[in-house]
Amino acid sequence: MPELPEVETVRRGLDPVMSGLRIAHADIRRPDLRWPFPPRMSERLTGARVTQLRRRSKYILADLDTRETLLIHLGMSGRIVVQGAQVGVFHHARTDPEKHDHVVLDMEGGARIVFNDPRRFGAMDLMPTATAEDHPLLAALGPEPLGNAFDEDYLVGRLRGRGTPVKAALLDQKIVAGLGNIYVCEALYRAGIHPARKAGKVAPKRIAKLVPIIRDVLSEAIEAGGSSLRDYRQADGDLGYFQHRFRVYGREGGQCATADCPDVVRRVVQSGRSSFYCPTCQR
């Protein structure tokens, strides 16, 4: 599933062809994705101007001049591609909708925004902008890891006394929003913290050290266009490149990236997810 860097990369790709422009026509090509679409979705989107395109956790939020906000979640296999407009250095001609093109937004100015989702685990919803943060998918989310509310004192306080593994705690969206398996593995490696260590047993100084490391990992991934492992593509259709910088994720059996470390990367399954780590460098 796309994590924060991938979603932010898509948002940045959509921003030039959506923000400030009207949706000339919304073609809703099926009644649902993971859940049913809201009533009259096509009518409510057609003619609406996008006043702002933002991200909350792993969700893209398009604020409209109709005082509604369109929520978009890519799910496991969803991707958004821009067609029919020059954006930076890429250009894709419009094509006839394909089998898994479930939502097609034709923007004034000529851009076509295509939401493709073969497995239909994605989601879209419309909600009042004024109360968007109260939406069931957003209400319980923790602070953004790149925002001011996520600081050393906050994270130390939230992890104090917790008996869950530190990796599980960082994946808890109520503690910090948007982090996923890939970037937590990478951040814990850089911080030298074993993913199975109980969160409450990690010294406060080491927890505090995690905050700038998490920010660095996420910022580097955004700069690289995210990580392409399966279905993820940027809005221009290109792959992300951060997977080429992984130090532990997916590198089971490979030599540890730390200079002079004799050990290799190991893998352990935690709550059904693979954790990659170096047993020498991470304690």
> Which of 134, 169, 199 marks a domain boundary?
134
Per-residue pLDDT tens, the chain, 283 aa: give them. 788 999 999 999 899 999 999 999 999 999 999 999 999 999 999 999 999 999 999 999 999 999 999 999 999 888 998 998 654 444 455 666 778 999 999 999 899 999 999 999 999 999 999 999 999 999 999 999 999 999 999 999 999 999 999 999 999 999 999 999 999 999 999 999 999 999 999 999 999 999 999 999 999 999 887 765 555 445 555 544 566 689 999 999 999 999 999 999 999 999 999 999 999 999 9
Q: Which run of H or of E encompasses 18?
A: helix 4-18
Pair 122, 226 in one domain: no
**Catalytic residue, candidates 2, 5, 16, 145:** 2
Which residue range(s) make up the domain with 263? Answer: 152-277
Active site annotation includes 2: yes
Residues 105 and 199 in one domain: no
What's the number of domains the chain is made of? Answer: 2
State whether 102 and 167 are in the same domain: no
User: Is 265 within a domain?
Assistant: yes
> What pLDDT, on a 0 to 100 scale, did the predictor assign at position 245?
81
- Contact (CB, 8 A) for 195 and 166: yes
Handedness of CA 123, 12, 45, 173 (dihedral sign): positive
Q: Are residues 187 and 251 in the same domain?
A: yes
Q: What is the pLDDT of residue 236?
A: 57
| 167 and 124 inside one domain | no
Specify the CATH number for the domain of residue 179.
Answer: 1.10.8.50
For residue 225, what pLDDT is reported? 78
Query: Which pLDDT value is given to residue 226?
Result: 77
Residue 145 lies in a domain: no
Active-site residue, 273 included? yes
Respond yes or no: is residue 79 known to be catalytic: no
Query: What CATH number is attached to the domain comprising 98?
Result: 3.20.190.10
- Cβ atoms of 79 and 231 within 8 Å: the answer is yes
The yes-or-no answer on residue 152 being catalytic is: no
CA 265 from centroid of its chain's CA atoms? 25
pLDDT score recorded for residue 98: 76
Element (H, E) at 12: helix 4-18
One domain, residues 259 and 167 = yes
Active-site option among 58, 79, 112, 247: 58
Copy the structure tokens of residue 168. Answer: 């599980």
Q: 213 in a domain, yes or no?
A: yes
Using alpha carbons, list the distances in angstroms from residue 232 to 43, 85, 193: 29, 21, 29
